[in-house]
Amino acid sequence: MKYAKYTQGQIEALFNIVGGEEAVDAVLRGEKDVVLTDAILKFFDKNGRRIPLPILQYSHCDPDRSFGLKQPKLDYLTRLVRMAEAFNITPDIQAVDFEAQAKALIAELQASEFLRPLLKGVYYPLYIPKLTIADYGETIENILLVAAERAYQKEFSGRPFTNYRKSMLKGEVTTISGMRHERIVERAKQGSQVVIYFPNPLQGFSVLAQREQETSLPEHLSIAGPLETLTGAATYTDSMMPHFHTPGYDMSAVQWRQPERSLYLWANDGGAKFDFRGVLGIAFVKYSGGLVFSR
């Protein structure tokens, strides 16, 4: 069959784009023509959420906006101090440099007709320190989760932060092939970097649908993994994880142990947890993958 590579869902989507069965029948009878023009591609809606591709193989749904975030005040000195305390390090830049680099990235986003709507959603300038990453899973367990837990328990005294994959990460976490997240990880091995992290522009997309989006996004946007998500949690704990009605955070750029599993972070009024997700093709209204803008 010549066009066997297309799924039933893709064929149905094409019928819907054309106008349904009656329109397709009219084209086949020669009563109507189909004229193809270059589409003006829009990536994000007025709320900064990713607009689904016309044809997605995997599921997505409308987000439940009662699970949302509020944009924090961008006090760069405060955030750099929070990060340094969480990671127990001395940053290799001053707050003024962190601010200058972050504002340059934000200005670049503002100047782009296609990327500007991203800034309608919540965004976090991040300083990602240089890290020794011999094994990604080991780094997640011994550095990134330690930093996130330290920040969380300082912010919310008495609430537990539970790693349900304790002692099960070393040698078990790999980046999904084709994800640009790998570049952020490689840069972290060489030195510190400043990026803009968007925690929930993919809310309502299944993990597999989140991954589908990456190939259509501009070159300098990547889907977040544990490095950016947990650094974000350590730097913006008060914004990302204050209560039940904040999103869960998929780390869709990686898998844990096998292709059918990924990782996520979630918090409510009683505590936070880090665990694996094993149903990657199903969309959840409160869960979201993050996006990262970097240079």
Structure tokens given for 259: 């292709």
For 249-290, the pLDDT digits (tens) are 999 999 999 999 999 999 999 999 999 999 899 999 999 999
Q: Facing residues of 255 across strands?
A: 174
Instruction: Give the rounded distance of the alpha carbon of 229 from its chain centre.
Output: 8
Q: How far apart are CA 81 and CA 64, in angstroms?
A: 33
**Nearest 10 degrees: Cα torsion 89, 196, 290, 131:** -30
Q: Facing residues of 50 across strands?
A: 44
Instruction: Write the burial class of residue 243 (CB in 10 Å: 0-12 exposed, 13-18 middle, 19+ buried).
Output: exposed
For 117-176, the pLDDT digits (tens) are 999 999 999 999 999 999 999 999 999 999 999 999 999 999 999 999 999 999 999 999
Say whether pLDDT at 243 is over 60. yes
Q: How far apart are CA 103 and CA 229, in angstroms?
A: 20
For 33-61, the pLDDT digits (tens) are 877 755 556 899 999 999 998 878 899 99
On average, the pLDDT of the chain sits at 93
Identify whether 205 is part of a domain: yes
Q: How far apart are CA 112 and CA 219, in angstroms?
A: 13
Task: Indicate if the alpha-carbon torsion angle 109, 110, 112, 118 is positive or negative.
Answer: positive
For 95-119, the pLDDT digits (tens) are 999 999 999 999 999 999 999 999 9
Is the Cβ–Cβ distance between 201 and 117 less than 8 Å?
no
Between the alpha carbon of residue 161 and those of residues 47, 67, 204, 245, the distances in Å are 30, 20, 25, 17
In eight-state DSSP terms, residue 273 is: E
Band (17; pLDDT cuts 50, 70, 90): confident
Structure tokens given for 269: 């009024």
Identify whether 30 is part of a domain: no
pTM of the model: 0.86
Domain range for 239 is 76-293
| pLDDT of 7 | 67
| pLDDT of 39 | 54
Say whether pLDDT at 10 is over 80. no
Identify whether 213 is part of a domain: yes
**Number of separate domains in the chain:** 1
For 195-209, the pLDDT digits (tens) are 999 999 999 999 999
Identify whether 54 is part of a domain: no
Identify whether 116 is part of a domain: yes
Taking residues 177-195, what's their average pLDDT?
A: 96
Identify whether 115 is part of a domain: yes
Structure tokens given for 34: 């189909």
Helices (H), the chain: 8-18, 21-28, 76-87, 95-111, 136-139, 145-155, 181-190, 207-213, 226-235, 237-240
Band (9; pLDDT cuts 50, 70, 90): low
Reference 293, options 211, 219, 190; nearest CA is 219
| pLDDT of 11 | 74
Q: How far apart are CA 227 and CA 181, in angstroms?
A: 9
Identify whether 246 is part of a domain: yes
Identify whether 41 is part of a domain: no
| pLDDT of 24 | 82
Band (236; pLDDT cuts 50, 70, 90): very high
